[in-house]
């Protein structure tokens, strides 16, 4: 998933929001649970404190005495974490639980942090051996006792912390599992939601490879207008191409007819003028044919939905040229996978392949070989390589670039205009390919032509 993709943006945005929501929810739940546990613990302390006050009185001698012990047995275990203390707010001895042993609770004003509810103060202090304690204190006046007395009950805060820690551990695990589940669900949702776009991409690939001419299939309501517009664009593109071809044909007809008239008239007049007109008219006809062909190729080179099977075209060319060069006994072998397709029009493939094979037949001694190699990547696009080899005399390396120039002929004894290889080069370049001339293993010339391949 690329960082600039729509799927990444959807997943990243939703994942970020989910993390923020889960973290915030986890903190809120943890705070609520902490507050609930502390209040529950404080409630236990308050009950024990009320019992402590209820079981304490002043005897006849004016001393504070305990009538009976509290029901919590941990008050009798030394440093158990549970303590009580009764302290007159004057220089008088205090009563304390056995669990305090030789220690006292530090109940100085402002000690620790907590709350104060209707005379009940609840706060945290450090107890014996630095134990974290939660203390509930209430100061009351006993009957027949003129000094206010502080009653305090302390419990081990470690119990609260352990319970909160256990809850937070399970909460973190639950939130992590929920986050992972949300992320998986989000990935599935995004993949399912963007699936119609993938179908559009595959449909466009079918059109580009020539296996379809329009977007077909059912699309969601949000994608259907896009598919309709793309189909209208494809239809408009085909209409423009057809109009361009019609105009090219009309232009060719409109120019060739006057040229034919000029040529016929010039032939009826002997002399330099007639020869000049005839020669110039022939050159004009040649230039018109060449540039009209280029205009047609340029208009159709990147047309969507065009696909031409290569093997049948090469087979037709081989059969035709074998008949033409039958007197010389030229044999033409074709090796082409049946599935190879040319992403272009058939006449363009016939033009380039025909020129290369015809040129090879002119120079071959007895045999010409056509080999097609699919799956060649060129400029990050799929191409196929058409290699045409002959067993003729070959061509020196210094002359290979020369023959690709328009109108160049190295041997005037061979028929032709010298335009074949230059036309092949121009057509190949229009399709994004190229023509290379190499030495064949048989000693002759090997022409390698790269052309765009249709998708499998």
Q: What is the pLDDT of residues 269-283, one digit of tens each?
A: 777 777 787 778 777
Query: Is residue 368 over pLDDT 80?
Result: yes
Question: How far is the first Cα of the chain from the last one, in angstroms, to the nearest whole number?
Answer: 25
Q: How confident is the model at residue 456 (pLDDT cuts 50, 70, 90)?
A: low
**Residue of higher predicted confidence among 346 and 208:** 346
| Interval 113-134: pLDDT, tens | 456 666 788 888 888 888 899 9
| pLDDT for 296 | 60
CA 38, 115, 113, 127 torsion-angle sign: negative
Residue 182 predicted with pLDDT over 50: yes
pLDDT reading at 311 higher than 90:
yes
pLDDT of 209 reads 64
Report, as an integer, the average pLDDT of 211-236: 81
- DSSP annotation of 436: E
Least confident of 93-102, 219-228, 387-396: 219-228
User: Parallel, antiparallel, or unpaired for β 341-342 and 308-309?
Assistant: antiparallel
Residue 372 has a pLDDT of 93
CB 69 within 8 A of CB 76: yes
The side-by-side arrangement of strands in the sheet containing 114-117 is 95-96, 83-88, 148-156, 132-141, 120-126, 114-117
Tell me: pLDDT of 11 over 90. Answer: no
As a whole number, mean pLDDT of residues 343-353 equals 86
Of the candidate ranges 32-36, 129-133, 163-167, 314-318, the one whose mean pLDDT is the lowest:
129-133
d(CA 146, CA 58): 11
Burial of 175 (0-12, 13-18, 19+ CB in 10 A): middle
How do beta strands 148-156 and 308-309 pair?
unpaired
What per-residue confidence (pLDDT) applies to 410?
42
Q: What is the mean pLDDT of the chain?
A: 82
Confidence grade of residue 205 (pLDDT, cut at 50, 70, 90): confident
Q: Give the tokens for residue 320.
A: 């035709």
Please report the pLDDT score of residue 259 as a whole number. 76
More confident residue, 265 or 319: 319
> φ, ψ for residue 134 (rounded to 5)?
-110, 120
pLDDT (average), residues 437-453:
88
Model pLDDT, residue 301: 52
pTM (predicted TM-score): 0.52
For residue 54, pLDDT over 80 is answered with yes
**Structure-token match 């019609």, residue found:** 246
- Residue 381 neighbours by CB distance under 10 Å: 12
Q: Alpha-carbon distance 96 to 326, whole Å?
A: 127
User: Regarding beta strands 120-126 and 308-309, do their DSSP bridges make them parallel or antiparallel, or are they unpaired?
Assistant: unpaired
Query: Nearest to residue 341, comparing CAs of 284, 304, 384?
Result: 384
| CB contact at 8 A, 423 and 400 | no
Is residue 332 over pLDDT 70? yes
Angstrom distances, CA of residue 326 to CA of 230, 317, 320, 329: 51, 14, 10, 5
* Virtual torsion, Cα 162, 163, 169, 175, nearest 10 deg: -160
């Amino acid at each position: 998933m690329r960082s600039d993709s729509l799927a990444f943006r959807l997943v990243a945005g939703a994942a970020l929001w989910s993390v923020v929501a889960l973290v915030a929810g986890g903190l809120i739940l943890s705070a609520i649970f902490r507050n609930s546990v502390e209040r529950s613990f404080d409630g236990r302390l308050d009950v024990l404190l009320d019992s402590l006050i209820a079981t304490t009185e002043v005897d006849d001698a004016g001393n504070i005495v305990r009538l009976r012990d509290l029901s919590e047995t941990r008050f009798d275990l030394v440093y158990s974490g549970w303590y009580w203390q009764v302290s007159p707010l004057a220089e008088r001895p205090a009563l304390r639980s056995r669990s305090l042993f030789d220690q006292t609770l530090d109940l100085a004003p402002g000690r620790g942090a907590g709350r104060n509810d209707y005379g009940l103060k609840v706060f945290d202090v450090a107890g014996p051996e630095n134990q974290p304690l939660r203390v509930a204190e209430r100061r009351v006046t006993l009957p027949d006792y003129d000094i206010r007395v502080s009653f305090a009950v302390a419990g081990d805060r470690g119990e609260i912390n352990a319970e909160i820690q256990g809850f937070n551990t399970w909460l973190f695990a639950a939130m992590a599992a929920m986050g992972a589940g949300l992320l998986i669900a989000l990935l599935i949702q995004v993949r399912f939601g963007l699936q119609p776009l993938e179908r559009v991409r595959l449909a466009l690939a079918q059109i580009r490879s020539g296996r379809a001419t329009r977007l077909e299939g059912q699309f969601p309501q949000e994608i259907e207008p896009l598919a309709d517009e793309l189909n209208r664009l494809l239809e408009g593109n085909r209409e423009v191409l057809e109009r361009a071809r019609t105009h090219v044909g009309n232009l060719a007809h409109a120019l060739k007819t006057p040229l034919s008239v000029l040529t016929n008239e010039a032939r009826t007049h002997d002399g330099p003028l007639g020869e000049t007109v005839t020669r110039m008219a022939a050159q004009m006809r040649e230039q018109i044919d060449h540039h009209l062909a280029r205009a047609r190729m340029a208009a159709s080179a990147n047309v969507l939905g065009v696909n031409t099977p290569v093997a049948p075209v090469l087979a037709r060319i081989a059969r035709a040229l074998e008949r033409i060069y039958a007197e010389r006994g030229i044999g033409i072998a074709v090796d082409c996978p049946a599935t190879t397709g040319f992403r272009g029009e058939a006449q363009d493939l016939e033009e380039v392949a025909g020129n290369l094979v015809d040129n090879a037949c002119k120079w071959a001694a007895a045999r010409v070989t056509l080999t097609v190699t699919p799956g060649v990547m060129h400029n990050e696009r799929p191409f196929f390589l058409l290699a045409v080899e002959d067993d003729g005399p070959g061509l020196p390396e210094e002359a290979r670039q020369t023959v690709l120039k328009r109108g160049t002929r190295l041997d005037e004894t061979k028929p032709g205009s010298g335009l074949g290889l230059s036309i092949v080069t121009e057509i190949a370049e229009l399709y994004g390919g190229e023509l290379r001339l190499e030495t064949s293993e048989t000693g002759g010339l090997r022409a390698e032509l790269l052309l765009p391949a249709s998708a499998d």
